[in-house]
């Protein structure tokens, strides 16, 4: 590809992080931004020097020589926007979860492959040096044969108003879709396929105040999920996700020759500047009989939020320009595999029975 990679961004919430990350690469131009409310699109365009702002998603497709569209809008809008972008022959970055369910995701994967474009879902944790080191250690079978896995993560959203995340038709199954999309992606990436699951999801905060007016309304998504996971590799696992308590992202993997423990604070809050932890010290991988944390190659990329964003979106931009796929990039195929497990956990929590993960596309 000659000249700058031209990307449009749909979404002005987390979408701002895309703009900051993409614009760190000198060979990338952010050519347009969409938000439902025009003033938000204009404000983001002004902030980042983006030439075109619109409140109509389809307008993005009329930007001359546009190469790619990034979709960073609520989960229920992903499938429609991705289909539109693919029909116009654009590369697509879609934020997680790829869609509301695996049926939609399978359709998006099929359409993306047919369109012959590059496609990915953005899972920032994959880029963290601790996650990359875990991937390497697991690929090298440094812990031997898998015995068991324990994963958990929590963020405290108890005081949040009734935004789209708390409504099933807009977000899918709540905390399972939101935090589960990150942790399940890591587990599938590190350990491989999950064969069947047993889920137990609950809504501990059943009402939330509306964003406007403050009248409380019912919540129809779970905010607490516990699960048993049976991996195809011998070994059993568990997963606990919470919107009711702050708990670091933690994954422990035991094998018959050793043990690895990964830990990360919320990268989102760090990227946002809301949490000022030092990731070089606090993204950790321990185990393999050592008393101090294992060395993490590339941790200087995560020394500052702007470096980390520039590094992550630099890798993404290079991939969209035609470079080989780095291991840290999750494609629509990966997004689909995650949604198959989320759907199965959601169903299992209803039926109280183990649910098999389909091995075909869906």
Number of residues that bind ligand NAP (CB under 6 A): 18
CA angle 167, 41, 26 (to 5 degrees): 115
Interface residue with ligand NAP among 5, 84, 95, 133 (CB under 6 A) is 95
The reply on whether position 208 binds ligand NAP by CB under 6 A is: no
Structure tokens at 287: 């185990």
Contacts of 357 (CB under 8 A, 6+ apart): 193, 194, 195, 196, 197, 340, 341, 344
Interface residue with ligand NAP among 6, 8, 9, 12 (CB under 6 A) is 12
User: Distance of alpha carbon 334 from its chain centroid, rounded?
Assistant: 10
The reply on whether position 328 binds ligand NAP by CB under 6 A is: no
Give the number of other Cβ atoms within 10 Å of residue 1's Cβ: 10
**Nearer residue to ligand NAP within complex by CB, 73 or 284:** 73
Q: How many helices and strands in the chain, by DSSP H and E? A: 12, 16
In angstroms, what is the minimal distance from the CB of 261 to ligand NAP? 22
In angstroms, what is the minimal distance from the CB of 334 to ligand NAP? 13
Q: Give the residue closest to ligand NAP by C-beta.
A: 13
**Nearer residue to ligand NAP within complex by CB, 169 or 195:** 169
Interface residue with ligand NAP among 11, 32, 279, 287 (CB under 6 A) is 11
Q: Are 316 and 310 in contact (CB under 8 A)?
A: no
Interface segment toward ligand NAP; rule CB under 6 A; list 69-77, 138-146, 245-253, 278-286: 69-77
Helix axes 75-87, 102-115, angle to 10 degrees: 20
Interface residue with ligand NAP among 6, 90, 91, 96 (CB under 6 A) is 96
The reply on whether position 74 binds ligand NAP by CB under 6 A is: yes
Query: For ligand NAP, what does the binding mask look like between residues 26 and 55, x meaning CB under 6 A?
Result: ---------xxx--x---------------
The reply on whether position 279 binds ligand NAP by CB under 6 A is: no
Distance, in Å, from the CA atom of 89 to the CA atom of 275, rounded to the nearest integer, reads 39
In angstroms, what is the minimal distance from the CB of 26 to ligand NAP? 24
Interface residue with ligand NAP among 228, 268, 280, 362 (CB under 6 A) is 268
Burial class (CB in 10 A: 0-12, 13-18, 19+), 206: exposed
In angstroms, what is the minimal distance from the CB of 187 to ligand NAP? 16
**Nearer residue to ligand NAP within complex by CB, 13 or 192:** 13
Interface segment toward ligand NAP; rule CB under 6 A; list 8-16, 18-26, 183-191, 213-221: 8-16
Q: Are 290 and 1 in contact (CB under 8 A)?
A: no
Distance, in Å, from the CA atom of 361 to the CA atom of 187, rounded to the nearest integer, reads 19
Give the residue ranges of DSSP H helices in the chain. 15-23, 38-48, 75-87, 102-115, 129-139, 168-171, 174-178, 180-191, 267-272, 279-282, 305-320, 332-351
In angstroms, what is the minimal distance from the CB of 247 to ligand NAP? 17
Query: For ligand NAP, what does the binding mask look like between residues 123 and 142, x meaning CB under 6 A?
Result: -x------------------
Residue from 76, 353, 350, 357 nearest 203 by CA:
350
The reply on whether position 122 binds ligand NAP by CB under 6 A is: yes
Residue from 330, 309, 271, 342 nearest 123 by CA:
330
CA angle 282, 285, 288 (to 5 degrees): 150
In angstroms, what is the minimal distance from the CB of 97 to ligand NAP? 7
**Nearer residue to ligand NAP within complex by CB, 112 or 155:** 155
Count CA atoms closer than 13 A to 14's CA, side-chain side.
Answer: 17
The reply on whether position 72 binds ligand NAP by CB under 6 A is: yes
- By CB under 6 A, name the binding residues for ligand NAP: 11-14, 35-37, 40, 72-75, 77, 95-96, 122, 124, 268
């Amino acid at each position: 590809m000659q000249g700058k990679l031209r990307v449009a961004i749909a979404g002005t919430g987390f979408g701002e992080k895309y703009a900051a990350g993409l614009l760190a690469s000198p060979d990338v131009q952010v050519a347009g931004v969409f938000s439902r409310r025009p003033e938000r699109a204009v404000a983001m365009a002004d902030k980042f020097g983006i030439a075109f702002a619109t409140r109509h998603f389809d307008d993005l497709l009329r930007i001359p020589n546009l190469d790619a569209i990034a979709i960073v809008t609520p989960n229920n809008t992903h499938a429609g926007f991705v289909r539109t972008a693919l029909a116009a022959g654009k590369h697509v970055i879609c934020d997680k979860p790829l869609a509301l369910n695996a049926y939609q995701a399978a359709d998006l994967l099929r359409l993306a492959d047919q369109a012959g474009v590059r496609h990915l879902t953005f899972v920032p944790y994959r880029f963290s040096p601790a996650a990359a080191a875990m991937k390497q250690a697991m690929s090298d079978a440094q812990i031997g044969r898998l015995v068991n896995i324990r994963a958990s993560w929590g963020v405290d959203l108890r005081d949040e108003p009734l935004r789209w995340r708390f409504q099933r038709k807009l977000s899918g199954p709540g905390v399972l879709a939101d935090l589960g999309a990150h942790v399940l992606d890591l587990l599938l990436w590190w350990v491989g396929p999950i064969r069947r699951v047993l889920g137990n999801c609950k809504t501990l905060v059943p009402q939330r105040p509306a964003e406007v007016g403050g009248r409380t309304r019912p919540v129809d998504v779970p905010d607490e999920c516990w699960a048993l996971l049976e991996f195809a590799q011998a070994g059993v696992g568990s997963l606990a996700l919470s919107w009711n308590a702050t708990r670091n992202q933690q994954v422990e993997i035991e094998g018959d020759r050793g043990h690895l423990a990964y830990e990360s604070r919320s990268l989102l809050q760090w990227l946002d500047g809301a949490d000022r932890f030092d990731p070089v010290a606090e993204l950790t991988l321990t185990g393999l009989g050592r008393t101090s944390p294992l060395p993490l190659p590339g941790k200087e990329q995560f020394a500052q939020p702007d470096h980390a964003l520039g590094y992550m979106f630099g890798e993404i931009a290079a991939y969209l320009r035609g470079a080989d796929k780095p291991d840290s990039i999750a494609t629509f195929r990966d997004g689909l595999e995650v949604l198959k497990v989320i759907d199965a956990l959601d169903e299992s929590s209803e039926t109280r029975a183990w649910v098999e993960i389909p091995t075909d596309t869906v």
